Amino acid sequence: MKGRVSWSLFWALIAVFVLIVCLFFIEPLNDLFGGSGLFLAPFGVFLLLGVALLVFTLREKAEGLLRAFFLLTAASAAGVFVFVLLHNGFYALATVSGDIPVLGTGLEFLHVAFFIIALIVCPLGFLTGAIGSIVLRVRGTA
């Protein structure tokens, strides 16, 4: 089966995504990990798996829709971390430069835009890529 490493990384990425969703929506699990460094561990693993899937997808030279869906899944997983960092950086700059009207407004816009990308666009891209990859696998075209 071609792309064995990519598929293994893909399923690990799906498992970590499910864990992250459970951390937010299952209260006892949130209470168990909330407020500790363990809460951030799945996010780091999610980023690393996303980067690894991106690298292996490009290295294995996958073709067609499967390549597109793998790249979308991997880029969205890594993008969440990148856009959260950009959001926080521009938020800090907007706070510091709040006295300069034009600069403060521009930075405010950027930090809101990166927040929306990190919390809405990237997860939707991840789900689209994941569902598309799974559908291709079930149909036997992957």
pLDDT value of residue 123: 93
With 80 as the cut, is the pLDDT of residue 86 above it? Answer: yes
Cα gap 20→12, rounded to integer Å:
12
The residues near 98 (Cβ < 8 Å, ≥ 6 apart) are 104
Tens of pLDDT, residue by residue over 36-83, are 777 788 888 999 999 999 999 988 877 789 899 999 999 999 999 999
With 90 as the cut, is the pLDDT of residue 102 above it? Answer: no
pLDDT value of residue 134: 94
With 90 as the cut, is the pLDDT of residue 12 above it? Answer: yes
**Per-residue tokens: 21:** 């969703």
| Domain with 72 in it | 4-139
The residues near 52 (Cβ < 8 Å, ≥ 6 apart) are 9
**Tally of domains in the chain:** 1
pLDDT value of residue 1: 43
Amino acid at 66: L
